[in-house]
């Protein structure tokens, strides 16, 4: 019994240590935290879905200065809300059911214009955002595909309903070769 108590205390201590100082945006549950499916790629690039409970304070405190929003129907007032936090908002509408090659070109232009900024690439659930960010990293930044795929699949598992996106990713990569 004493050993079991020690093990439980050690696990609890490890969990507290591992999660202390972690902003709310970093929850592993996709529906908790301030941004759905939030995923940090590096010190200047994160991807995420919609804001939960208006989650602007968390992304501001993390240093995000630019949000590139891929939703084709973003919430009204998004630009004004973000501007109120000193965050630039750029909408690059990408239809979930019909991504086009031009969408990637427009996204690339936005990313290139903010190469030195702390960017959040956002969509509704972080599927478009993680896919477009994966493509940008592989095609433009020449990041190893396996390394970039780890970040892509951290929040998105392709299924039959996303088959169009699997094809789109392959199409964009083949055009870049």
Domains of the chain, by residue range, sit at 2-176
Q: Return the higher-pLDDT residue of 71 and 157.
A: 71
Residue 162 reports pLDDT greater than 70:
yes
What average pLDDT is seen over the chain?
A: 84
Enter the pTM of the model: 0.81
What is the C-alpha to C-alpha distance for residues 44 and 143, in angstroms, rounded to an integer?
Answer: 15
pLDDT of residue 57: 83
CATH topology classification for 2-176: 3.90.190
Strand 45-48's sheet: what is its strand order?
Answer: 39-42, 45-48, 119-122, 66-69, 88-91
Residue 160 pLDDT class (50, 70, 90 cuts): confident
Smallest CA-to-CA distance from 70 within 45, 95, 37, 98 is with 95
Chain segment 1-56, per-residue pLDDT in tens: 443 333 223 323 332 223 333 333 444 455 456 899 999 999 999 999 999 876 78
């Amino acid at each position: 019994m004493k050993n079991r108590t020690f093990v439980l205390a050690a696990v609890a201590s490890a969990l507290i240590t591992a999660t202390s100082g972690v902003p709310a945006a970093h929850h592993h549950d996709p529906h908790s935290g301030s941004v759905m499916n939030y995923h940090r790629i590096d010190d200047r690039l994160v991807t995420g879905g919609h804001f939960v409970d208006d989650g602007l304070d968390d992304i501001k405190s993390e240093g995000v200065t630019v949000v590139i929003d891929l939703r084709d129907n973003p919430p009204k007032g998004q630009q004004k809300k973000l501007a109120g936090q000193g965050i630039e908002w750029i909408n690059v509408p990408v239809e979930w059911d019909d991504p086009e090659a031009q969408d990637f070109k427009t996204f690339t232009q936005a990313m290139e214009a903010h190469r030195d900024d702390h960017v959040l690439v956002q969509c509704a659930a972080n599927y478009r955002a993680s896919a477009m960010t994966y493509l940008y990293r592989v095609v433009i930044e020449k990041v190893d595909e396996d390394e970039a795929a780890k970040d892509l699949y951290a929040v998105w598992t392709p299924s039959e309903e996303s088959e169009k996106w699997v094809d789109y990713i392959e199409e964009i990569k083949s055009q870049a070769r």
